[in-house]
A and B are shown apart, each in its own frame.
Chain A
């Protein structure tokens, strides 16, 4: 007799249960759909990349299409050089900024600085390329490795700053107090006690930032430009793996496409290695505490 859907009839209860399990199933499917692209990308990287990778790839310069052999030795070295230059720009600024946030800044100033860092983090990477083009390419009248390194380095700053702050805050306050009580100057307390205690955490943050920028292409397009030969002078254009992958991927030649896959596999391997380093480092840190 009870026909109202609001009464807890047997049928209604079954419908509710059915709905709940249907939603559960949908959620599972969604989660699978989210991780599927990762496996698809890695699968095709391995299939196409590993068949085109050989010793030449690591030792030779790019060759014109049609010629056998040829590799990306210059691009691999170029990427390493760019990462090194980016670290020289980004790490000191980021770490010192993080020290300010953790050790000096007032709550209000810190809120604004963190906000600014997050905003800076949201600046599209291509914009960094344009800005550094105006600052370093136009005045010196040439695309250069320096410009590419600075573009990547500036992108590192907000990342390194935030992670540095986070690990410095974890250093127990008693360490600082003990050192200050012994009459050690504040800056020495920070550099010798606090920063050294947190050194592993800071290094982890730097590697995270490096992993983030290692694959960046857009900021290098108008700064480092790319180069088919060895770079003998950092004031001149330099090759980079992402740039080379891009150039080869949009080319019409099959052998260049194969090279692009091989380059992508190497680049992914580099980024994966950096990420694994981060995992190992942060696992050790958990053990220590």
Chain B
């Protein structure tokens, strides 16, 4: 026989799972929920905080120079005149060079890993790429100064100058520290993320695509071209843009190999300077308020560009994979 209470319980539909709420847990429950919500909300708060602090730190420079800060190429602490152009130029050129090197290599490696490599080989290669991602920027910089740059100076740059010296890109004196050296080091540093995201993208290409192309008698290359790369191109583009976002903010390694000279030169052998590296080098030495404010404005520019590029990449990757999550880090 059913007691009335059991009867009430049984008549409850499963959609209300909490028939007898313990009254005492309401308060702590709510408090816990709000603490968790606060922690999650911190993420949004932090973005606002970062943006606001950078703006507050650069207000004096913003009102002094206005928008012309962005295209003035004078950077003269002695006369207290500042412009961002050489640094924007250096950041863009070194990042684009890095992309030029890293995107073809990274996508090719991703294709190799998803389409060609024997199963036994895949895991070790993926692990090696993950390890490459774990190497800190400052160690790449150290290696760049003492290993890569001497080699570039004595071999690759000489070779480039000899055979391609007719291009303005490869003219002028060779110092070793240069825009091209920075591009190469940054390329190495963004290879892991480009490779791993491209790999995720390629794995999301349905096998039916490949099978259909093979069934038509396509060779392996034709399958790749028609069925795989074409299908995945938007996502691969997203991977490249994400790599660009990383490249823009690279600081230590670039600072150590780019030569740190605020100039705009057509030659890739010439030293340059980037937004991140001028901040790293001059921040603690800024002697006047306007100087420090100008450095903050450079930081504001850097963060603005990096965030916009990142958002663009997220949107591209999301539209590629539908709702399926792509792990970005």
A-side interface residues toward B, CB under 8 Å? 16-17, 19-20, 22-24, 26-28, 30-31, 33-35, 37-38, 40-41, 44-45, 48, 92-97, 99-101, 103-105, 112-113, 115-131, 133-135, 154, 157-159, 161-162, 177, 180-181, 183, 185-188, 190-191, 211-212, 214-218, 221-222, 225, 242, 245-246, 249-250, 257, 260-261, 264, 267-268, 271-272, 275
Contact = CB atoms under 8 A, between A and B. Distances in A.
Contact of A271 (B37, B134, B219): B134
A100 B44 CA distance: 14
Given A115-B314, A119-B310, A187-B25, 16 more contacts: A20-B220, A31-B125, A33-B105, A35-B128, A97-B42, A120-B43, A124-B302, A131-B53, A181-B17, A185-B25, A188-B25, A211-B134, A245-B138, A249-B138, A268-B136, A271-B136
A186 B29 contact: yes
B106 A93 contact: no
Interface in B130-177: 130-132, 134-143, 145-147
B226 interface: no
Contact of A96 (B35, B249, B296): B35
A79 B122 CA distance: 34
A279 to B, nearest CB: 9
Contact of A116 (B43, B220, B296): B43
B136 A214 contact: yes
B92 interface: no
Contacts of A271: 134-136
A160 B284 CA distance: 31
Contacts of B191: 34, 37
B47 A215 contact: no
B252 A246 contact: yes
B215 to A, nearest CB: 16
B266 interface: no
Interface residues of B, number: 91
A249 B36 contact: no
A198 B243 CA distance: 32
Contact of A250 (B32, B49, B106, B256): B256
A124 B303 contact: yes
Nearest to B101: A33
Nearest to A246: B138
Contact of A275 (B28, B116, B125, B131): B131
A285 B274 CA distance: 44
A100 B145 contact: no
Mostly, the A contact residues are helix
Nearest to B325: A114
Interface string B16-42: 011010101100110111011111101
B32 A187 contact: yes
27 contacts: A24-B221, A27-B111, A31-B112, A31-B113, A48-B146, A94-B39, A100-B37, A113-B44, A118-B310, A119-B314, A120-B43, A124-B249, A124-B306, A127-B306, A128-B50, A154-B46, A157-B43, A186-B32, A186-B33, A187-B29, A217-B252, A221-B283, A260-B142, A267-B139, A272-B134, A275-B130, A275-B131
B40 A161 contact: yes
B39 A100 contact: yes
Contacts of A100: 33, 36-37, 39-40
B18 to A, nearest CB: 7
B311 interface: yes
Interface in B240-284: 245-246, 248-252, 256, 276, 279-280, 283-284
Q: Which of B43, B54, B141 has the most CB of A within 10 A?
A: B43
Identify the 6 closest CB pairs spanning chains A and B, nearest first: A215-B136, A124-B249, A185-B25, A96-B39, A122-B310, A30-B108
A126 B191 CA distance: 21
A183 B22 contact: yes
A126 B300 CA distance: 11
A27 B116 contact: yes
B236 to A, nearest CB: 14
Given A131-B49, A249-B256, A124 B135 contact: no
Contacts of B222: 16, 20
